[in-house]
Amino acid sequence: MDLNFFLKSFMALKGSLHQTSSVETPQQNRKVERKHQHILNVARVLMFQSHLPTHFWSYAIKHAVYLINRVPSPIIGNKTPFELLFKQSPDFTMLKDFVCLCYASTRVSSPQV
């Protein structure tokens, strides 16, 4: 069985359109490259702040994608990609620490008069 045919029919079944780009045309990959860079940058920050060894890199990538999909974006009307896909708000009670630097403020602000 041709794997490419199976992939196209599977994606069509899920409501996705399978599109390919031409070989040796990086200008067609600009959006994908930008998103890939964004994921890698978030993963690097997670790894740097948590001081984890590099063999946890795959977990940092998964965690970065998970977080990115739950952050509102002005491009999609301040909704999250999760909301657009599942038609419901994401559940933030499942979020866990990735051992990142965090500062808590104990200062009580005075009321504005």
Which residues are CB-contacts of 45 (< 8 A; sequence separation ≥ 6)?
100
In a domain, 40, yes or no: yes
pLDDT tens for the chain, 113 residues long, are 455 567 777 878 888 877 777 777 766 678 788 889 999 999 999 899 888 899 999 999 999 999 999 999 898 999 999 999 999 998 888 777 766 566 666 766 666 65
Instruction: Say if 3 falls within a structural domain.
Output: no
In a domain, residue 38? The reply is yes
Here the tokens at position 61 are: 């990538």
Q: How many domains does the chain have?
A: 1
List Cβ neighbours of 61 (8 Å cut-off, separation of 6 or more): 39, 40, 43
Determine, yes or no, domain membership for 94. Answer: no
Q: Is residue 11 part of a domain?
A: no
Domain extent for 53: 29-88
